[in-house]
Structure 1
Amino acid sequence: MTIDYAPTQKATDRAAAIDRLIEAEQARFASRHPKSAAAWARGREHYLYGGPSHWMRRWAGGFPIYAEAASGAHIQDIDGHDYVDFCLGDTGGMCGHAPEPVTRAALHQLQRGTTMMLPTLDSLWVGEELTRRFGLPYWTLTTSATDANRGAIRIARMITGRDKVLVFSGCYHGGVEEAHVEIRNGKIGMRNMIHPNAVDHAAVSRVVEFNDVAALEQALKAGDVACVLTEPLMTNFGMIPVEPGFHDALRRLTRETGTLLVIDETHTISCGPGGYTALNGLEPDMLVAGKAIAGGIPAGIFGLSQAVAERMWQIVPHANPKQRQSAHLGIGGTLAGNALTVATMKAVLEEVLTEANYARMIALATRLADEARALISRSRRPWHVTQIGARAEIMFTPKVPRSGADVIATRQGDLETLLHAFYMNEGILVTPFHTMFLMCPASTEEDVARHTEVFARFIELLEREGIAG
């Protein structure tokens, strides 16, 4: 369904009304955050795009809040405001802010050395636990999920001799060039306003719509795709659930065409201790995760199946104990698998991302989604809510999308911006790229109730202004 407001005066009036409300919310934000505004002005003097990461300018207030401290599911800013944090560092903080087990492990390891480019005994436990949770026997640690995806892609090319990576339109897999593409208006181009980088994407990438088995089959039949890189369900373009039978078809087609299947669980690890993969019995050739896996310490992981590992060993054998092993495979780094990361990862896997904590997180996400749906139904708005595991999303579209094309056709970016700015003024933080909520072990019933109250007042604001849709 395409929402087409453009040709009518009513649509023009509606857009103008939303713009006025955005301006009012941003003015309210500026008046409430003078210290953050001043800090942002200073930051722009020395950072390329204002902050330590250019992503930090994406918040809808007009400039970001500057954080003073964070604990559990709350953040305090330098202007003295407290926020219920449903963004959680866009999943990097899914363990909560400063969880005691992670803090304890980090402090202990900091006193014993951070990075030595040597393994520690903790790494033995972590490797065993990764296999237990995700089912793959062999693992490599990296500094981010981006690096893990790059490693998986490189290995796929090494053992298949193929050059292309297939991704789904609307995906996001970090700073991986092969995934910076999407289909828009029937044509393949750069994803989400990413600027070209002199990469011939026609040579390295192939892109199809998610849930489209026929398009997937056609794209793989040439036999030149090294791997399919995919989330189990899409979470970065608005949440797009997987349709029944799609994973079975994906696994069958990749095996038939000799294509490796790489599943990126960086976001969908919110589904349970072993992510969506373990919960649904998927059988990837490689699996990637990052962000939350070390409690907010930069880290990524990727695992290999027995068959993929054996193919790698044919190209780069196990180290000969009589000969120095110098092949670095074109992946890794001196900080990868450092002692601090491994120590915090052990704390996360052993004490934080547990079955009991997942049960609480998922129950809270279910309550938030149910209460948001009830408000939407009561106001007769053409919106929907998707909830999977400990993650939920409000989308200003009438139906659950089945592909990136559906999101492009129905998304209302101005309304999202207004909601985000309103939320920030009312002490709620959500993922700034779209309206996604995530629970952590420290999230509470009171936090969810606070969101329900604020969302209800947002709907009332639209009703007072006569803004429909």
Structure 2
Amino acid sequence: MADLDRIRLAALLARERAEFAASHPRSLELSRRARGALLHGVPMPWMAKWAGGAPVFLAEARGARVTDVDGHEYVDVALGDTGSMPGHSPQPTVDAIVARVAGRGGITTMMPTEDAIAVGEELGRRFGVPAWQFALSATDANRFALRMARQVQRRGKIMIFLHAYHGTVDETVATLDDQGKVIARDGNVGAPVDPALTTKVVPFNDLDAVRAALAPRDVAVVLAEPAMTNVGMVLPTDGFLKGLEEACADTGTLLIYDETHTMSMGPGGCVRAWGLAPDAVTLGKALGAGVPIGAYGLSAELRDRVLADDEGDYLDWGGVGGTLAGNALSVAAARATLEHVLTEEAYASMLFTGQRYVAGVRAVFAKHGAPWHVVGLGARAEFGYTPAPHATGGDAHAAIDPLLDDLIHAALLNRGVMLTPFHNMALMGPTTTVEDADRVVGALDAIVGEIFGS
């Protein structure tokens, strides 16, 4: 978007930030206070990325609405960057949490509960892999699944796709330099080893690169999102995932699909919707409607290999698990969320609302002559600043425009819409209405019209 008047865009951003500051005095006051107690002034670093010039401090959240400490209510299409995809505090999950804490008591006891069995059974039904265990985040689910894969494979390396994000797993914070060599991602904090020793990185949708990377048979496992969701939205081209699965089978390489975000596609994520055949699936965030949880499921074949492995210590010191993983509260929340909130009927509504949003965004871009695109993935959608969607993470990363991002995000906040702070993702939950989607589109219409002077 180099042809846009950047000086005018910067002036628009300054106007929106001034408006935000004038209307959010309490958030600004708390932000100043937080700098004396919290590193970067926030509980987690990415919370500093809110575009208004200070974080929006939360007062209340319910369904598809959040209210900040200054009393402003927002249509929330960030939904905790998928962590609250079921909506904020859905009543069945709240009831299960209260029953576990106040009724039956016992949040973490090192004892299994029947809820854990029910969640494993339901995830097996949805995703087609039968053997599940739990963690406290998708990062840990990925970490544990990778460790098991390297152990049973007796191979040291993993493969990921360029600009993929799988949490803070050390081996995945890697990229390629201009010569195609694997290096640490720019800004990687304290990389423990050279990522080239642990990781191969290839472009998404490039089957030739996949086959070349797997040919030496030194890769234990490929970790992939079925569609990339953390660098814009990059969908697989026709035949790519089938070719990836075939390349893994031909070289004896395991394949993990990380469905943490792509479970927006339906009750069984992309695995079920697209008929995929992974060796393992990892999940997180949305399962507990905000209560910390992650999960990883193994195919029957991989389960049997793990159970037959007499060298790995899977029960104690081997680097898999955690005292709070699989705690009674997390699995109670997950059971209620799966059984009563993220149902087949709920997904039907979410997907319909997602389609409405995508159509509305496309109409806004056409109305103002914006040469931009929007991509939908079930209940999830993201827009970007090029005429056509991207085929690789590298292309998507190159098209990021921080000034446009900040301007649009700040403008939406001032118009009562909360978009994901660090990318242009919108997510429709079970309680997101068609009217909510239209309101988001209307707010986007206003700022895109200003950007293009229409």
Q: Which of 421, 424, 440 is the aligned partner of 2:413? A: 424
- Alpha-carbon displacement from aligned partner over 1:325-363 (angstroms, at most 9, x marks no partner): 954531111111111111111101100110100010111
Q: Which of 410, 413, 427 is the aligned partner of 2:399? A: 410
Q: Say yes or no: does 1:132 pair with 2:122.
A: no
- Alpha-carbon displacement from aligned partner over 1:273-300 (angstroms, at most 9, x marks no partner): 1111011111100100000011110000
Distance in 2 (alpha carbons) for counterparts of 1:326 and 1:266: 25
What amino acid does structure 1 have at the position aligned with 2:130?
A: P
Distance in 2 (alpha carbons) for counterparts of 1:110 and 1:432: 32
Q: Say yes or no: does 1:44 pair with 2:35.
A: yes
- Structure 2 match to 1:304: 298
Normalising by structure 1, report the TM-score. 0.93
What amino acid does structure 2 have at the position aligned with 1:68?
A: A
Distance in 1 (alpha carbons) for counterparts of 2:186 and 2:238: 28
Q: Which of 269, 282, 285 is the aligned partner of 1:288? A: 282
- Alpha-carbon displacement from aligned partner over 1:131-181 (angstroms, at most 9, x marks no partner): 111111101111110000000110011001111110001111001111111
Q: 1:317 to 1:189 in 2, by over 3 A?
A: closer
Q: Say yes or no: does 1:64 pair with 2:58.
A: no
Q: Which of 63, 72, 79 is the aligned partner of 1:81? A: 72
Q: Which of 218, 234, 237 is the aligned partner of 2:228? A: 234
Q: Which of 189, 199, 202 is the aligned partner of 1:205? A: 199
- Structure 2 match to 1:322: none
- Asked whether the equivalents of residues 184 and 191 of structure 2 are also in contact (C-alpha less than 8 Å), the reply is no
Q: Say yes or no: does 1:163 pair with 2:156.
A: yes
Q: Say yes or no: does 1:433 pair with 2:422.
A: yes
- Asked whether the equivalents of residues 184 and 405 of structure 1 are also in contact (C-alpha less than 8 Å), the reply is no
Distance in 2 (alpha carbons) for counterparts of 1:400 and 1:195: 31
**Map of 1:93-108 to 2, 5 A cutoff?**
93-108=84-99
SS in 2 for 1:141: strand
- Asked whether the equivalents of residues 312 and 318 of structure 2 are also in contact (C-alpha less than 8 Å), the reply is no
- Post-superposition, which runs of at least 4 consecutive aligned residues in structure 1 deviate over 6 A? none
Q: 1:271 to 1:448 in 2, by over 3 A?
A: same
- Structure 2 match to 1:119: 112
- Alpha-carbon displacement from aligned partner over 1:397-448 (angstroms, at most 9, x marks no partner): 1111000121133332211111011111111111111101001111012211
Q: CA deviation at 1:198?
A: 3.5
**Map of 1:206-355 to 2, 5 A cutoff?**
206-316=200-310, 327-355=316-344
Distance in 1 (alpha carbons) for counterparts of 2:332 and 2:311: 29
SS in 2 for 1:350: helix
- Asked whether the equivalents of residues 151 and 312 of structure 2 are also in contact (C-alpha less than 8 Å), the reply is no
Q: 1:80 to 1:186 in 2, by over 3 A?
A: farther
Distance in 2 (alpha carbons) for counterparts of 1:453 and 1:39: 30
- Asked whether the equivalents of residues 184 and 194 of structure 2 are also in contact (C-alpha less than 8 Å), the reply is no
Q: 1:202 to 1:318 in 2, by over 3 A?
A: closer
Distance in 2 (alpha carbons) for counterparts of 1:139 and 1:317: 21
- Asked whether the equivalents of residues 397 and 411 of structure 1 are also in contact (C-alpha less than 8 Å), the reply is no
Q: Say yes or no: does 1:16 pair with 2:12.
A: no
Distance in 2 (alpha carbons) for counterparts of 1:268 and 1:345: 17
- Alpha-carbon displacement from aligned partner over 1:60-90 (angstroms, at most 9, x marks no partner): 1111111000000000000010000000000
Distance in 2 (alpha carbons) for counterparts of 1:463 and 1:380: 8
SS in 1 for 2:423: coil
- Asked whether the equivalents of residues 369 and 452 of structure 2 are also in contact (C-alpha less than 8 Å), the reply is no
Q: 1:84 to 1:316 in 2, by over 3 A?
A: farther
- Asked whether the equivalents of residues 190 and 196 of structure 1 are also in contact (C-alpha less than 8 Å), the reply is no
- Asked whether the equivalents of residues 316 and 327 of structure 1 are also in contact (C-alpha less than 8 Å), the reply is no
Q: CA deviation at 1:209?
A: 0.4
- Alpha-carbon displacement from aligned partner over 1:192-217 (angstroms, at most 9, x marks no partner): 64334242101011101000000111
Distance in 2 (alpha carbons) for counterparts of 1:409 and 1:39: 35
Q: 1:377 to 1:15 in 2, by over 3 A?
A: same
Distance in 1 (alpha carbons) for counterparts of 2:418 and 2:179: 34
Q: 1:106 to 1:417 in 2, by over 3 A?
A: same
Normalising by structure 2, report the TM-score. 0.96
Distance in 1 (alpha carbons) for counterparts of 2:175 and 2:234: 15
Percent identical pairs in the alignment equals: 42
- Alpha-carbon displacement from aligned partner over 1:242-292 (angstroms, at most 9, x marks no partner): 101011110011111111101000000111111110111111001000000
Q: Say yes or no: does 1:195 pair with 2:186.
A: no
**Map of 1:381-396 to 2, 5 A cutoff?**
381-396=370-385
Distance in 1 (alpha carbons) for counterparts of 2:217 and 2:235: 28
Distance in 2 (alpha carbons) for counterparts of 1:299 and 1:273: 17
What amino acid does structure 2 have at the position aligned with 1:169?
A: L
What amino acid does structure 1 have at the position aligned with 2:425?
A: M
Q: CA deviation at 1:191?
A: 3.2
Distance in 1 (alpha carbons) for counterparts of 2:36 and 2:174: 32
Q: Which of 368, 382, 388 is the aligned partner of 2:357? A: 368
SS in 1 for 2:332: helix
- Asked whether the equivalents of residues 373 and 383 of structure 2 are also in contact (C-alpha less than 8 Å), the reply is yes
- Structure 1 match to 2:20: 29
